[in-house]
Amino acid sequence: MENRTAKTRRRNGLTISVCHYPPGTSKWNKIEHRLFCHITQNWRGRPLTSRLAIVELIAATTTQTGLTVRCELDANIYAKGVKVSDAEMAALNMKADTFHPEWNYTISPRTPEVSR
């Protein structure tokens, strides 16, 4: 079974760069760090009654410097526990980045084989 990222990339001929923050380092994410206090202020202890209420609360957040948040509810249902086989991983045209290659990589379309 091919994963969705690979299908999307292949169908659209996209090169996709994936960058992750390592576990426990959200403080390094400057945008998250700058916005979290404003989201909290905007919340002001109101009950979070639904996912939609949370999304609307986050989306209504702005800062005095003009930073705004774009937020939308993803209502798709995703399969849990999807496993990617070693063969599927090997079939990807994946190149690790020089900075933390265990977290950051680029997946490019494979060049089509030329028939002779």
pLDDT for the residue numbered 29: 66
How far is CA 23 from each of CA 16, 51, 86, rounded to the nearest angstrom? 22, 24, 24
Helix (H) or strand (E) holding 105: strand 104-108
In the predicted structure, residue 101 carries a pLDDT above the cut 60 = yes
State pLDDT tens for residues 40-97: 888 888 888 998 888 888 888 888 888 888 888 888 998 999 898 999 888 888 999 9
* Entry field: residues in the chain: 116
* Phi, psi values for residue 18, rounded to 5°: -115, 125
- Kindly give the residue spans of alpha helices, DSSP state H, lying in the chain: 4-12, 30-43, 51-59, 86-91
Which residue type sits at 87? A
pLDDT for the residue numbered 86: 92
Residues 6+ apart with CB under 8 A from 99: none
Higher pLDDT, residue 112 or 105: 105
pLDDT for the residue numbered 91: 87
Q: Give the pLDDT band of residue 1 (cuts 50, 70, 90).
A: very low
pLDDT for the residue numbered 45: 80
Give the span between the Cα atoms of 65 and 57, in whole angstroms: 19
Higher pLDDT, residue 23 or 92: 92
